[in-house]
Amino acid sequence: MFSDWQEQGLPVQLIGVGKDSHNSSLGNWTNNNDTPVCADSSPFSSWSDWGASQRDVFVLDHMGNVVLQQSTNSGIPNNLESVVMDLVDDISMDCDPGMACAGVLTCCDGLLYPTSCCAENCDEPIDDPYNMCSESECEDGEFDNSNPCNPMECFGGQWFEIIIDCQEQMGIPCDGGVYVDPPEGVCCSTCVQYGDSNNDGSLNVLDVVIIVNIILFENYYDEVSDVNTDGLLNVLDVVQLVSSILN
C-alpha cells in the first residue's frame, strides 16, 4: 500500500518507532524496504508521550495532528487507506515542497512565512509576535524623536520604544561637578565641572568673567559657579577658580 502511494508521488511518510530493547526484531521492519525506524530508549518516553502500545498504528495529518490510533494485532485497519487518502485530499496540491526558496521571513496575504516562497513550497505560516505582516503604522527605519526621552524606531511596520540610559538616572555620580538640566530636545542631564560656568568643557578666563558678573550685577545663585560648594557665590569662588586655571 505504502509503496503504491510512493509511486503515485503522494505526500505520505511511513516511520516506525520501536523500543531499543527489541532491536533484534527490527529486521521485521527493514527487510526488503527502506522504511525509517527509530529506536526509543528506556524508559521509552516517546511511547509514553504518545500513549502507544505494541503494534499500534498512528495516522497524522500534515499538521502533525493524530487522526487515527489503532492496534494492528488483528490486522491493518480496514479504513486505513481511505483515511490516508482523505488526508491527502485535504492538502493543497498547488504547492511544491521541493521548490527552492530563500530563507527569509516574508509576508503574504497578511501572514508571516519562513521563506520567500510563502505557501508555494507548502510551508505553513508561522507566529508573528511583532505584527510584521499587519497593517503598517510606519516605514521600517523611521525614527520619532518628538519626545527625546522616549524616542521610537519603526520595525516591521510597528513603533518600538528605544531605551535611553541617562547617567544621572542610573545613579552615576558627577565627580567634581554637578548635573545640569538638558536643553530642549535633549533627554539626559549633563555633568558639568564646577566653575565651567559657560559649559564649554574647559576652565578659563571666560568662566571667571561670568562668575564675577553674576556676583556683581546679576545676583543669582548658579550651582555650577559655586566652585567651593558652600551654597554661596562670592569672591572665594573666584579665587578658587583662578587657582584651578593657573595650576
226 pLDDT band (50/70/90 cuts)? very high
The model's pLDDT over 117-156, given as tens digits with 9 standing for 90+, comes to 998 888 889 988 877 787 667 888 898 988 888 899 988 7
Q: What is the pLDDT of residue 92?
A: 56
Give percent of the chain with pLDDT exceeding 70: 93
Mean pLDDT across the chain: 85
Q: What is the pLDDT of residue 29?
A: 64
Q: 234 or 12, which is more confident?
A: 234
Which domains does the chain show, CATH number per domain?
2-90 (3.40.30.10), 100-133 (no CATH), 177-246 (1.10.1330.10)
- The closest of 188, 209, 185, 183 to 197, measured between CA atoms, is 209
Q: What is the pLDDT of residue 246?
A: 92
Q: What is the pLDDT of residue 223?
A: 95
The model's pLDDT over 154-206, given as tens digits with 9 standing for 90+, comes to 887 778 888 888 999 889 999 999 999 998 888 999 999 999 999 999 999 99
The verdict on pTM exceeding 0.75 is no
The model's pLDDT over 46-100, given as tens digits with 9 standing for 90+, comes to 878 888 888 888 888 877 788 888 888 888 888 888 888 888 887 755 678 888 9
Residues 6+ positions from 238 with CB-CB distance below 8 Å: 208, 211, 212, 215
Q: What is the pLDDT of residue 30?
A: 62
